[in-house]
């Protein structure tokens, strides 16, 4: 049944080039696409709508409106949602853009004669012998336009929480292989949805680069930030203070523990890490602060540098305590963003050395755009009700501009 619907949809799209009645075709595409998605979501949850079966493995969770660009124009679809957030209709092809970007990068490296042995093998496996420069150029132009739309889109909703982090890729530039910083920002909107807010690729992760990046986010509409989580990079911290006026800063606890362990002998590092972790197990803000001070005091005699670091860093590492209890685990570190960065690294490692900075932007942008799209059809990260309670924390109001 699913295959029949899919073939009918493809046939209708093929007729689009020959038929005059675009409205009729558009209605047909919408009806077939909607039917196909309903069939797929029923298979995903193991039951039809309102049906009770022993095979049911999930629950529907309403619909999300989405525009779908086709040969007959833009079609308005009602995309089914499920509570586990794991359903994406096959016809929307959520990974196709990233695969095209990866192929484009590999092709470009191959055409320019700078590909590594690993890339050469991938080229052959993809059957891309004899790819011309004009073919590569056309593919890259199409992808660049998609990535540019994503990077320049308006940020409509306030984002009470944002995370910042950086990773690095190797790029060939002016005949040399250099490291390039990939900086990424993600956020939670006031309605609880995760978004990739933006990214940039530049020569170094310095303060000027971070400052320009944060200013570009604000220029595109980023507002209402109450808490920004990152590592203790000096340039980034200064940029957050300069651009996100009134927002609190959360120092990533994972990075802080690494900094702390560098101040003590290796033989006691496991014990020190375990002691610091007891702070984050406390069920109340008062208990966490008291435990932090107790742990720091316990280190003062034997490890005074560690105790001094803890005393200095307390307001920054414990900034998350001013926000709703159910948000703490996600707010106290950059882990939500580092998982995304790991995926970026996994895919960019396939390339090894990018032939130019534009190729890095192309692949990273395609990956991040697709993750953003998938988050839009996933379940909310936080409930809107709990985010409304976050209004009691430091920083500007959620509706601030």
* 255, 237 contact by CB (below 8 A): no
Q: Which of 318, 278, 356 is nearest to 115 (CA)?
A: 356
Rounded to an integer, the average pLDDT of 28-36 is 74
Looking at the predicted structure, is the pLDDT value of residue 318 above 70?
Answer: yes
φ/ψ of 266, rounded to 5, equals -60, -35
Domains of the chain in start order, with CATH, are 2-87 (no CATH), 151-252+334-392 (3.30.420.10)
- Tell me the three state secondary structure of residue 350: helix
Residue 183, classified by CB atoms within 10 Å of its CB into exposed (0-12), middle (13-18) or buried (19+), is buried
Note the pLDDT of residue 71. Answer: 54
Q: Which of 364, 5, 11, 398 is nearest to 182 (CA)?
A: 364
Note the pLDDT of residue 294. Answer: 96
Other Cβ atoms closer than 10 A to 253: 23
Higher pLDDT, 6 or 389: 389
Rounded to an integer, the average pLDDT of 348-370 is 85
Lowest mean pLDDT among 34-38, 211-215, 328-332: 34-38
* Rounded Cα distance, 123 and 131, in Å: 10
Tokens of 12: 């209708």
Provide DSSP, 302-336: T-HHHHHHHHHHHHHHTGGGGS-GGGHHHHSSSHH
| Sole residue written with tokens 């590092």 | 269
* 198, 185 contact by CB (below 8 A): yes
- Tens of pLDDT, residues 288-301: 999 999 999 999 99
Those residues with Cβ within 8 angstroms of residue 191's Cβ, 6 or more apart along the chain or in another chain: 157, 380, 384, 387
Those residues with Cβ within 8 angstroms of residue 270's Cβ, 6 or more apart along the chain or in another chain: none
Tokens of 148: 């540019």
Tokens of 42: 């029923």
- List helix spans (H) across 88-132: 96-111, 117-125
Q: What Rg, from alpha-carbon coordinates, does the chain have?
A: 25
* Rounded Cα distance, 229 and 317, in Å: 10
Check: pTM over 0.85? Answer yes or no: no
* Rounded Cα distance, 303 and 282, in Å: 24
Lowest mean pLDDT among 143-147, 257-261, 302-306, 310-314: 143-147
Write the DSSP symbol of residue 92: G
Higher pLDDT, 56 or 226: 226
Q: Which of 244, 242, 215, 210 is nearest to 228 (CA)?
A: 244
């Amino acid at each position: 049944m699913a295959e029949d619907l899919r073939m009918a949809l493809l046939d209708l799209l093929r007729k689009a080039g020959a038929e005059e009645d675009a409205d009729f075709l558009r209605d047909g595409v919408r009806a077939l696409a909607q039917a196909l998605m309903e069939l797929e979501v029923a298979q995903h949850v193991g039951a039809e709508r309102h049906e009770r079966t022993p095979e049911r493995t999930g629950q529907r969770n309403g619909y999300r409106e989405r525009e779908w660009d086709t040969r007959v124009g833009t079609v308005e679809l009602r995309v089914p949602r499920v509570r586990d957030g794991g359903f994406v209709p096959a016809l929307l092809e959520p990974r196709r853009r990233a695969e095209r970007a990866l192929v484009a990068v590999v092709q470009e490296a191959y055409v320019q004669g700078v590909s590594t042995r690993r890339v050469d093998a991938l080229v052959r496996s993809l059957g891309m012998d004899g790819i011309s420069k004009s073919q590569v150029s056309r593919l890259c132009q199409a992808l660049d336009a998609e990535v540019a739309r994503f990077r320049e889109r308006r940020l409509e909703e306030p984002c009470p929480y944002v995370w910042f982090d950086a990773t690095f890729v190797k790029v060939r530039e002016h005949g040399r292989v250099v490291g390039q910083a990939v900086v990424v920002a993600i956020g939670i909107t006031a309605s609880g949805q995760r978004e990739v807010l933006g990214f940039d690729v530049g020569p170094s992760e310095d303060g000027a680069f971070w400052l320009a990046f944060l200013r570009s986010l604000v220029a595109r509409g980023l507002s209402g930030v109450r808490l920004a989580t990152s590592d203790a990079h000096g340039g980034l911290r200064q940029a957050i203070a300069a651009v996100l006026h009134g927002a609190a800063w959360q120092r990533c606890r994972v990075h802080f523990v690494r900094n702390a362990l560098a101040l003590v002998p290796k033989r006691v590092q496991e014990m020190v890490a375990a002691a610091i972790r007891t702070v984050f197990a406390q069920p109340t803000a008062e208990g966490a602060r008291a435990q932090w001070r107790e742990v720091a005091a316990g280190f003062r005699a034997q490890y005074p540098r560690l105790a001094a670091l803890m005393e200095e860093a307390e307001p920054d590492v414990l900034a998350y305590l001013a926000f709703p209890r159910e948000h703490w685990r996600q707010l106290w570190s950059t882990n939500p963003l580092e998982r995304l960065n790991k995926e970026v690294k996994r895919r960019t490692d396939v390339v090894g050395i990018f032939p130019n900075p534009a190729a890095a932007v192309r692949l990273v942008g395609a990956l991040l755009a697709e993750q953003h799209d998938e988050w839009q059809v996933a379940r909310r990260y936080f409930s809107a009700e709990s985010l409304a309670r976050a209004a009691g924390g430091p920083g500007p109001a959620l509706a601030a501009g």
